[in-house]
Amino acid sequence: MATSKKMAAQRAVESMAEDLTEADERSNLSDSTQPLPFLEVYCWSSGKVRRFAAGTAAGYALLVINKKLDAGDCQALLIEAAKEGEEPVVFGPNAVLINYGKGWKLQTVTAEGYKEAIGEHQRSKISPDIMQSPNSKSLEKPETMGQQSSTFNLLYISKILLVFALMFMFGGALTFLLENLPAAKLSSLYTL
């Protein structure tokens, strides 16, 4: 009887060992095919990598990233997946963050980076002749921009004041006319 118990125990240990090796083989296969349970987003403002669970909305990730920024850091506008030599994939606020595979990197785009990219795009549309001419000031801000905006503000305020003055004059004239109308003869109404 003792030998049968020993043999049963050995069989149980062997079956557990087989189950463990099969589970290890399955986990090795699944590790190579399953994506990581989290995504990493590189923040350009802070220089840090933030981790998010798979299936996180891009808007929520931006909210968390911006909350963890220091006071002087630039806020992130959006998250994009970028790869060298490829057009970046931009995630909208309700889009789910996805890892596109090898070489693709999730990163934030800041207002400064966005302005630089727009500026480069607009400069590339301008012909080289215009950019190289010494008299060209198309890429510079006009010197009178401050004067134009202050003149515009003064003109706007003066128009508002003129409208108020005309409104009060019209109201005063109407009041004057109504007070000086000839009084209706009420006595003729009572005689009937």
Give the model confidence (pLDDT) of 49-99 as tens digits: 999 998 899 999 999 998 988 887 888 889 999 999 989 999 988 999 988
The mean pLDDT value of the chain amounts to 73
pLDDT > 90 fraction of the chain, expressed in percent and rounded: 27
Is the pTM here over 0.85, yes or no?
no
Among the ranges 13-22, 97-106, 124-133, 145-154, which has the highest mean pLDDT value?
A: 97-106
Of the pLDDT bands very low, low, confident and very high (cuts 50, 70, 90), residue 137 is very low
Q: What is the amino acid identity at position 25? A: E
Distance of CA 109 to the CA centre of its chain: 9
Assess contact for 39 and 97: CB atoms under 8 A.
yes
Question: Helix, strand, or coil here: 128?
Answer: helix
Burial degree of 102 (CB within 10 A; 0-12, 13-18, 19+): exposed
